[in-house]
Amino acid sequence: MSVRDREVPALHIGDVAERVGLSLRTVRYYEEQGLFAPAGRTEGGFRLYTEDQVERLLLIKQMKPLGFTVAQMCELLAARDALGDADPEVRTAARERLDTFAADAAKRCAELRTELARAEEFAARLAQHA
Q: pLDDT tens digits for 54-113?
A: 999 999 999 999 999 999 999 999 999 999 999 999 999 999 999 999 999 999 999 999
The whole model's pTM is what?
Answer: 0.82
Beta strands 47-49 and 40-41, pairing class: antiparallel
pLDDT attached to residue 7: 67
Q: pLDDT tens digits for 16-63?
A: 999 999 999 999 999 999 999 999 888 898 899 999 999 999 999 999
pLDDT attached to residue 6: 54
In the chain, what are the domains? 1-65 (1.10.1660.10), 67-130 (no CATH)
Give the DSSP per-residue string, 62-101.
HHGGGT--HHHHHHHHHHHHHTT-S-HHHHHHHHHHHHHH
